Amino acid sequence: MLRILHDTKYDFIRHWKKAAVITIAWIIVGLGFLAIHGINYSIEFTGGTLMQVTFKHPPHIDDIRATVDAAGYPNSEITKFGSDTEYTVRAQPHASANSTAGDSTGTYIQKALQQKYGNDVTVGRSEFVGPRVGAELRTKAAVAVLISFIVTLIYLAVRFEWRFGLAAVIATAHDVLTTLAFLAMLRLEVSLTVVAAILTVIGYSLNDTIIIFDRVRENLRKQRKESLYDVLNRSINETLPRSVLTHATTLAATLALLFFAGEVIRPFAWIMAFGIFTGTFSSIYVAGALLLWIERKWPRSASGQGKGTARAMAEERRRSTQESVVASR
């Protein structure tokens, strides 16, 4: 039997203060990036035109810019896309143009480029999004995430206990923040695919948290004479081999996407790769530490509904407070 990290006894929770400092610093730096550069929304959200153009020979980026400028789109963003011969052009319609002309932007730019480069240039893809669609998408994505949080909270409250639910949801919200910080630092473009990636990270991290909480629930039912602190540590250690293996296979799939699936998928893969780390981190430090904190803040009454978990945890709390009193002496 090949075993990794079998029967470990690391004290994970002890480091929660350090972990909190690191993650808060990370989020603040990320928010700083956001404050300076703003969110780099894709045209799906801002509206506008995006074209992916392939050249036979590597062109000079200034030439492309000059051509697009001359076509009447002076503030366009021209970026290299993967290889030397692939570029994306992102343009906004004329401010003066009437509302229906925006969708022709791509055609104008295409004609201008073909005039300059002849058959050396092909337009692989051209997308136009009107301004209203973008604004609508932004609210819809946010609403979807919020509702999924609420649904999760309710489910976990029913299956576990509201304290577990709250800890898990806050941990997941933390993942959203760190991931946003990450994409701000990499200056990744926020597209619908990236939103999907963030949602996957949410699901993945929640999964991880629930696996650990399930262990906590189980260990609490066994009514060992252990504090919640120890139960948490034990549960994390017991699920460690599973965590390592699942993260390994997920990371393998993510890296395959990152390196082999091409430029369009790359932002998705980057976020997922980061998500594996932040998901693992938050399950241990954020969710675990929070559960401990919530339990101290809002201890439940011993005369609970007679649920195994509740009773065990109530006894637990009494014991742990006694212990902490002893410790403080």
Partner 1 sequence: MSNLKYRIGAIVALCLLSLWALFPRNVKVQQRGADGILRDTIQRHVPLRKGLDLQGGTYLALEVDESKQAIAPDKIPDAIERALKTVRNRIEGIGVSEAVVQTQGKDRIVVQIPGIQDPERARQIIKDQAFLEFRITDKTQALERVLPRLDQVIRDKGLAAPTTTASAPTKPAASKGLQGLLTGTDTVKTDTSKAARKDSTKTDTAAAVIPTTGGPFSSLIQQSPGGMPGEYLVDSDNALKVESYLALPEIKAAMPPGKQMLPSNDSTVLQSKVYKLFYVVDAKPIVTGESLTDARPNTSPLEGTIVQFTLDNIGGRRFKTETGRHVHDYMAIVLDGRVMGRPPIIQSAIGTSGQITMGQGRDIRDAQDLALVLRAGALPVPLRVAETRTIGPSLGQDSINKGFRAGAIAVVLVVVIMLFYYKFSGVLAVGGLALYVLYTLAILAGFDAVLTLPGLAGFVLSIGIAVDANVLIFERIREELDRGKTVRTAIDEGFRHAMPAIIDSNVSTILTAAVLYQYGTGPVKGFAVTLIAGIVASLVTSIFVVRTFYMIWLQRSRGAQTLSI
In Å, what is the CA distance from 30 to each residue of 24, 94, 183? Answer: 10, 33, 8
Q: Which residues in 143-162 contact partner 1 (CB under 8 A)?
A: 143-144, 147-148, 151-152, 155-156, 159-160
Q: Any contact of residue 242 with partner 1 (CB under 8 A)?
A: yes
Is 125 a binding residue for partner 1 by CB under 8 A? The answer is: yes
Question: Considering only residues 245, 298, 302, 324, which one is a binding residue for partner 1 as defined by CB under 8 A?
Answer: 245
Do residues 53 and 123 make contact, with C-beta atoms less than 8 angstroms apart? yes
92 is an interface residue for partner 1 by CB under 8 A: no
Site for partner 1 in 43-62 (CB under 8 A): 52
- Contact between 141 and partner 1 by CB under 8 A: the answer reads yes
- In the list 14, 132, 187, 296, the residue contacting partner 1 (rule: CB under 8 A) is 132
Among the residue ranges 61-69, 129-137, 288-296, 314-322, the one whose residues contact partner 1 (CB under 8 A) = 129-137
- Paired tokens of 201: 């990270």
From the list 236, 231, 248, 235, the residue with the least C-alpha distance to 295 is 231
Contact 284, 212 (CB under 8 A): yes
Lookup: tokens for 310:
């509740």
Is 308 among the residues that bind partner 1 (CB under 8 A)?
Answer: no
φ/ψ of residue 93, rounded to 5: -65, 160
Cα–Cα distance, 292 to 327 (Å, whole number): 17
Least CB distance to partner 1 at residue 233 (A): 17
Q: Which stretch binds partner 1 (CB under 8 A): 64-72, 223-231, 294-302, 311-319?
A: 64-72
Q: How many angstroms separate the CA atoms of 185 and 137, rounded? A: 23
**CB-CB contact of 276 with 204 (8 Å):** yes
Task: Establish if 69 lies at the interface with partner 1 (CB under 8 A).
Answer: no
For residue 121, the SS3 value is strand
8 A C-beta contact, residue 177 and residue 155: no
Which residue lies nearer to partner 1 by CB, 33 or 312?
312
Closest CA to 161 of 15, 3, 300, 326: 300
Answer yes or no whether residue 108 interacts with partner 1 by CB under 8 A. yes
- Which residues from 171-230 bind partner 1, rule CB under 8 A? 192-193, 195-196, 199-200, 202-204, 206-207, 210-211, 214-215, 217-218
Q: How far is CA 212 from CA 138, 152, 158, in A?
A: 33, 16, 17
- Report the site for partner 1 in 250-279 (rule: CB under 8 A): 250-257, 259-262, 264-265, 268-269, 272
Q: Does 99 bind partner 1 (CB under 8 A)?
A: yes
Give 104 or 322: the residue with its C-beta nearer to partner 1. 104
Among 38, 100, 297, 329, binds partner 1 (CB under 8 A): 100
The answer to whether residue 84 forms part of the interface with partner 1 (CB under 8 A) is no
Does residue 287 contact residue 168 with C-beta atoms inside 8 Å?
yes
